[in-house]
Structure 1
């Protein structure tokens, strides 16, 4: 019996010692884990913007006179050459020598503008011919597998852009010609009146018709009521709202990372799907704007071309508010981790890795950062588990237990 009692006492002592040892051992740290992933990675910036018609034309009075009431309303369709406004002569103004000198100057300016518009048309035509020849060459190289498909797509986009530029240049020539015709008509009338042709009673019967230079729609009517207007008074604005682009202002530190051709997704425009676009250009001059928090920021306008067919954005009009998500950088095969797994260690970055029940410290080299995830250039391989939001209790070599979310 004595040996039985002695064995029980020994067993009880061992249990007590084991309990004490277990009580004083450090408990595993509860941590939240996230995998190291390999896949597509994109760095974007999202800013509000607005749509605008690419080519808009403000039609103004070529000379002072009496404006008849404009019956057109915003949204009315007009054809090139259609009369959109009519001016009748005001004898005291039209026979004034000073006005005659100004009319002669306007004829000279309109003539110079016409020459400039034709030069621009010639340049646009040459640029389109060059873009088409480049596209033809890239198509041959793409068939041979020499150039990537992306280069061919960029060349096709360039051809479409040059075609639109040529159409805009042709419209510019028509506008310049209409201005020249109006200026010459005004000058001829003044000269005729100066020579006594028409007389005082006939002056009020003369009229000058202002015609639309392009096919399009009336965007805005600035002077609808009948009345006397001075030379140069804006009357109405015409353009084609089917030809839209988006203007978004971004911080200059983001703008320097944007390049023409960068991918853009247009969000919150009213449709159930995003619209695809591309950065057309980043304007060269920035401006100062005060944020909602009262901080002065340097921002610059980014012009975005819409790549979607018209039927997918038919309800989008001029001056509509949108959100533009612009791609600053993207990669297809990128190793990345959540940004909240990173912390500073010296002059570099580090993460804690879950390794067979123990926490291990790893130095890493970080590349691009999106705000949610960070590109890992060195130090981690896909499949590893990193600890996110590491607290002070997470240290090298401690045991851990994954946190469970109910």
Structure 2
């Protein structure tokens, strides 16, 4: 009996040890992270930094070189079309050095002498005209009495006419000399910054809008063509972004877009124009890139983005593909399979099953599955290397 009992205990101990070893070396389920397959809207978009700008920006400039009075307007003030935005006054004469002052004084003296010379010439030509008048009278008397031929009388008349023309020339020369004297005298006047002589020139706003920028609000002398202020309508806003040429070919005019990260809710927008010419831009990493400008119009009413101003930084998303009622799977669940396609591990009865997929597209977070999965199924996200087809798995608890 003792031997039988000992044998029975040894057998039980051996079976327990075998069961313990089998349990210890048996494959355990791999804990994995799972995600459900969803049915929703798939969107694929190009995302790029952009900036806002006014559609029509007007730079009001000075038409002539002048002295602009202090501009009372400030950035943000509304202006109406035709409203005076700046007043220009004639510029003060330039300051002269000693040499130039002496030259101006000498020119004034020369002009004064020319006036005197012109006056003397007037007297001389007047005397010649009087002499020609007397000679014509004597010639006419002798011609009527028959002592002189008619031709000599005609010559006398022509000499009188020429003498009168000389008087007119002398008078004109004296008038020119007087003007030259006045011009030379004006050059001697000292420069006076406080002078306000001359008619002011008013500069008016070309359109209704608000003042965007005033380069120089204080009074000062400006050159012709110098900008005085910028005017625009903030309600007419657009967004411009510089896309890579490989992305820009997918942004078609009329395509939907959205403006984000401007400090408020997303704003619906639409692509208006893709410029035809690209340009080279060096990235922050020193890589030369070919980019093209894309212009986008805001579809939302101005009241929803009235705080956005000109030149604000925003994020622009241009949609290139949008599908409703699409089967969606996380991008982290995808991995390449041997035939060059993509696949996932779906969970079926606690085991991982390799599932090839036909994809319609993918973005940064989701993939659109044309065939291979159904909504509601569970897939393994970021499958570990130890997972294989048919391996037991266990979903990680949150």
Q: Give 1:16 shift.
A: 3.6
Count of matched residue pairs: 299
Distance 1:232 1:225 in 2: 17
Q: What do residues 5-51 of structure 1 show as CA deviations (whole Å, max 9, x unaligned)?
A: 76665555444433333333322222211112121111233333222
Structure 1 portions without partners, runs of 5+: 93-195
Q: What do residues 34-93 of structure 1 show as CA deviations (whole Å, max 9, x unaligned)?
A: 11212111123333322211111112223334434433222222211122233345699x
Distance 2:8 2:346 in 1: 46
Distance 2:309 2:21 in 1: 76
2:304 equivalent in structure 1:
312
Distance 2:304 2:357 in 1: 45
1:284–1:204 CA distance, 2 compared to 1 (3 A): farther
1:230 equivalent in structure 2:
223
Moved more, 7-16 or 296-305: 7-16
Structure number with larger C-alpha Rg: 2
Distance 2:249 2:232 in 1: 32
Q: Give 1:393 shift.
A: 0.7
Distance 1:88 1:231 in 2: 13
Distance 2:32 2:60 in 1: 68
Q: Aligned Cα RMSD in Å?
A: 3.0
Which of the numbers 266, 274, 284 marks the counterpart of 1:292? 284
1:219 equivalent in structure 2:
212
Is 1:42 the counterpart of 2:38? The answer is no
Distance 1:304 1:209 in 2: 37
2:381 equivalent in structure 1:
388
1:349–1:318 CA distance, 2 compared to 1 (3 A): same
Structure 2 portions without partners, runs of 5+: 94-178, 187-195
Which of the numbers 360, 373, 382 marks the counterpart of 1:367? 360
Q: What do residues 207-236 of structure 1 show as CA deviations (whole Å, max 9, x unaligned)?
A: 433221111112122344444433322222
Distance 1:5 1:70 in 2: 114
2:88 equivalent in structure 1:
87
Distance 1:255 1:4 in 2: 87
1:14–1:242 CA distance, 2 compared to 1 (3 A): same
2:68 equivalent in structure 1:
67
Distance 1:22 1:359 in 2: 22
Distance 2:267 2:392 in 1: 49
Distance 1:87 1:401 in 2: 82
Distance 2:239 2:279 in 1: 18
Q: Give 1:239 shift.
A: 1.3
Distance 1:276 1:224 in 2: 38
1:357 equivalent in structure 2:
350
Q: What do residues 250-304 of structure 1 show as CA deviations (whole Å, max 9, x unaligned)?
A: 3333222222333333223233x22222222222233333333333333332222
Q: How does 1:168-207 map to 2 (within 5 A)?
A: 205-207=198-200
Q: Return the TM-score normalized by structure 2.
A: 0.66
Q: Return the TM-score normalized by structure 1.
A: 0.65
1:126 equivalent in structure 2:
none
Preserved contact between residue 71 and residue 224 of structure 1 (Cα < 8 Å): yes
Distance 2:221 2:21 in 1: 103
2:267 equivalent in structure 1:
275
